[in-house]
Structure 1
Amino acid sequence: MDRPAAQASSVVEGRPRPVRSELTQLLKLSGPVVISRLGIMAMGLSDAIVVGRYSASELGYHALGWAPTSVVVTMAIGLLTGIQVMTARAIGEGRRNETGVVLRRGLGYSLWIGVISAGVLALGGPLFLHAIGLEPSLADGASRVLLVFCLSLPGYALSVSASFWLEGLSRPGPGAWIMWIANAINLALDLLLVPGTWGLPAMGAMGGAWATTGARTFLAVAMLGYIALMPEARALGVFDRPERNRAAEAEQRRIGFGAGASNFFEVAAFASMNIIAGWIGGLAVAAWAIVLNVAAIVFMVPLGLSTGAAVRVGRAYGARDPIGMIRAGMIAFGVTGLFGAAVSLLVWPNARLIAAAYTGNPATLAMAIPALALSCLMYFPDSLQVVTAQALRARGDVWLPTGTHLTSYVVIMMPLAWWLAIPRGMGIVGMVWAVVIASVISALLLLVRFWRLSLKG
């Protein structure tokens, strides 16, 4: 394909694609992805509510058994990002028939990720839980739950591959509605297995783990079934066995390694924040959990916008359209900034009401309310940094975002949070200040990088 033809996607009657059209494409892509990502959170939330209402001790087993697998879930999302980016690039280059190659490559990769991680956690997870000082009965109960959760990881990894491929094709809708069907199945299994109904014995936390495993298995089968039945599946090369392309395989893995490493650094950094809160006291852990949970819900929107940005920038990158890359990136950054500012203005005056929805404990609320109000300063830069990082990866700049996340969240945020919270005596508020500062640094570094690459063309 020649250069003018490749740039046709961003030219209308000789003029650049209007900003309104680019904005529409971004929102059409991002909306269903946000709904899908919220579905991931909803599945864990329904498990916790049903198990928690059945038994507080069983909820402890469930939470501890789920925690190690959450690291794999987060890592898998990053490691498989290459599917999304490479699919969008192929579309931009006019090679729709080769997108099936990206999917087949990603499915094999995701199956290895799921099986190996399940095996490693099944062998090492119980040993870890018994080695960190838990009561033996608690470690035993959590270990049994962990082994069931491990069975869900291969199916989950396969479903991520299928979802990312559809998103790369600018078809995120099926992944969103299949995810919420899986949520309905998960809730039904929770209500059936956890308390024991219809003559079945009560399974408690084990029932919640089996519900998640069943829902994730359905999710994988449904996503792959949908793709296989797509009318254009053969035209996209889904069923073709392609010749091996080691360079493309390496590029797809390289993009995933960068995103996976970034996710790991962030997960590790925020896990350390829970430890710092624990050093302050038990109520501080509860207060920090409120702040973090609200931030996680807010984060789902920029996470969806980051997918839209990656697809639009990746498509322009594949079309060798530098103006299109700049336009797609800047519009995504603008929408993200507006969202971050708007949600901050919403949460700040309602911090007391939001915190009170989580707990009625006066001492916990006294810590959580000012910390939650201060966290509003975090939403704007944190939203921008995740979207900018994905836009950079889509244009081939894989490792700079990873280095930025390592610097901002591990090198700066972790020690700063400890220093402000404990030696300086600022408690949870000091921890939030550390997150705000790290997010601002990360966003500034990434935006400067995107702008400097744009100047080079």
Structure 2
Amino acid sequence: MTSERRVIGRHAATVFVGQMAVMAFGVTDTIVAGRYAEGALAALSVGSAIFISVYVSLMGALQALLPVWAELHGAQRTSEVGRSVRQSLYVCGCAVAVGMAILLFPAPMLRWTDVPPSMRGDVEAYLGVLAFALAPALLFRLFSTLNQSLGKPQLVTWLQLASLGIKLPLSIWFAFGGAGLPAMGLVGCGWATLVVNYAMLGAAIWLLRSESSYREYRFWQRIEPPDWTQLRKFARLGIPAGLAVLVEVTSFTLMALFIARLGTAASAAHQIAANLTAVAYMVPLSLSIATSARVSFWLGAGDALLARKAGRKGFQLTVLFALLIASAMAMFRWQLAGIYSANPAVIALGATLLLATSFYHLADALQTLCVFVLRCYQVTVMPLVLYGTLLWGVGLGGSYLLAYRGIGPWTAMQSPLAFWLMSGVALFATAVLFLVLLGWTVRRRR
């Protein structure tokens, strides 16, 4: 199985490079906003929390289609892949409509979470631009998921790397102005994202039409009417997966909205911790995508033993890299915080938060791999139940109490650290239960 580990590692490395290029979009915007104004960084913390909650939840529903296409690929049913992809466009269209409605009208959420009125104007303007960047982003994610399921993520990675070369100068130019363009601040970062997303989608469409390796799948036939049997299968996978991701992400990103009432320094420090945690998450995410593609491939090929072995190799790699990343995050916390801000108070608080996020990352890596492999075995409802109970109930609810009201002998901390501590505990419990569920599921399929 050394070769299986190599296949997973090579696939994960390719996905990781592309994901890091996309994550660099957020890092770029965080640094640009932080240098533009502390208030812009605080507004970005809130705006990105809402956008990420919407985008990643909808993306999770589309990403859940990976096992479907990987199984068809493993069974060598190439013509059915093309038809299945065309049917997925109906799902993507619904996702775009839902996402845009939320992003264009965020005011109720901002009021509910007590985001200061002084931030709301910048946040709403930023989300208004990103609403129109959502459609190309989700369509490109569909293209990315297709390539991952076929074990060919290289083209996606090259596009993502090329897009970073466009995003970086555009964010700086649009935010600070120049060459006749007025400074737009945070909204300028949103416009840069919109331009880049459409450029990536255009390149993906061109590749699908011109690249010879896609011809056997016959993607460019006339789209069929909705196949409700196929769409119900998508829904059984995608809806619970999307809702599970929604719970996971909102338990993470709603922290930013609740922390906003602690002031701009707390929001800025939290944004540093959140951004670095999101960057670190790309490693287990890439390994989980690669592992699930191999597990589904072998299941489609009818070899359950090789599917189990592929899952074990992915687990070993995930644990190894999670330990390395968590250790680095704790050891270099002061230097990492200093990259994002020149404010000593923000740096000090950010460095403290990074100690908690190192523990958070370990649990996050384990649960991510488990939930991706569970989808290969069509298990999606129980992870949703566990996410809702632990991440919303214990994590987010417990965080709010610890931060603002106190829990038992512990008085209210009035610090973003409370959110990271309680969320880390909840995520660790989630990872343990997912491991138990995955072990039971695999044994049952023998």
Range into which the TM-score falls when normalised by the shorter chain: 0.7 to 0.9
Please tell me the root mean square deviation across aligned C-alpha atoms, in Å. Answer: 2.8
User: Which residue is equivalent to 1:317?
Assistant: 299
Letter in 2 for 1:343: I
Q: Measure the CA separation in 1 of the matches of 2:254 and 2:49.
A: 14
Distance 1:332 1:398, change over 3 A: same
Aligned with 1:435 (options 423, 434, 440): 423
Identity over aligned pairs, percent: 25
Indicate whether 1:152 and 2:140 are aligned.
Answer: no
User: Which residue is equivalent to 1:379?
Assistant: 361
Aligned pairs for 1:51-450 (under 5 A) are 51-55=33-37, 65-122=47-104, 124-125=105-106, 138-241=119-222, 245-274=227-256, 277-278=259-260, 283-359=265-341, 361=343, 363-421=345-403, 423=406, 424-425=410-411, 427-450=415-438
After TM superposition, where is structure 1 displaced by more than 6 Å over at least 4 residues in a row? 130-137
Letter in 2 for 1:46: T
1:257-302 per-position Cα deviation (integer Å, ceiling 9, x unaligned) = 1221111112221234335545666544444333333222211100
1:255 and 1:398 in contact (8 A); partners too: yes
1:98 and 1:237 in contact (8 A); partners too: no
1:111 and 1:157 in contact (8 A); partners too: no
1:137-195 per-position Cα deviation (integer Å, ceiling 9, x unaligned) = 75444433332221111111111111110111111111111012222222233344333
- Residue 354 of structure 1 deviates from its aligned partner by 2.9
Q: Measure the CA separation in 2 of the matches of 1:30 and 1:417.
A: 33
Instruction: Give ranges in structure 1 of 5+ residues lacking alignment.
Output: 1-18
Q: Measure the CA separation in 2 of the matches of 1:239 and 1:251.
A: 23
Letter in 2 for 1:219: M
1:6-51 per-position Cα deviation (integer Å, ceiling 9, x unaligned) = xxxxxxxxxxxxx111101111211121122222221133234345
Deviates more, 1:392-401 or 1:187-196: 187-196
- Residue 105 of structure 1 deviates from its aligned partner by 1.8
Distance 1:341 1:193, change over 3 A: closer
Distance 1:177 1:292, change over 3 A: same
Q: Measure the CA separation in 2 of the matches of 1:51 and 1:105.
A: 40
Question: What is the count of residue pairs matched by the alignment?
Answer: 438
Distance 1:354 1:229, change over 3 A: same
2:66 and 2:146 in contact (8 A); partners too: yes
Q: Measure the CA separation in 2 of the matches of 1:119 and 1:26.
A: 38
Q: Measure the CA separation in 2 of the matches of 1:137 and 1:363.
A: 21
Q: Measure the CA separation in 2 of the matches of 1:350 and 1:440.
A: 23
Distance 1:376 1:168, change over 3 A: same
Q: Measure the CA separation in 2 of the matches of 1:236 and 1:136.
A: 52
Letter in 2 for 1:435: S
Q: Measure the CA separation in 1 of the matches of 2:338 and 2:368.
A: 29
Instruction: Give the TM-score, by structure 1 length.
Output: 0.86
Deviates more, 1:233-242 or 1:331-340: 233-242
Larger radius of gyration: 1
2:71 and 2:298 in contact (8 A); partners too: yes
2:46 and 2:260 in contact (8 A); partners too: no
2:21 and 2:160 in contact (8 A); partners too: yes
1:262 and 1:405 in contact (8 A); partners too: yes
1:185-213 per-position Cα deviation (integer Å, ceiling 9, x unaligned) = 22233344333333334444443222211
Q: Measure the CA separation in 2 of the matches of 1:373 and 1:204.
A: 31
- Residue 451 of structure 1 deviates from its aligned partner by 1.2
Q: Measure the CA separation in 2 of the matches of 1:164 and 1:226.
A: 15
Instruction: Give ranges in structure 2 of 5+ residues lacking alignment.
Output: none
1:418 and 1:431 in contact (8 A); partners too: yes
Letter in 1 for 2:382: L
Distance 1:414 1:196, change over 3 A: closer
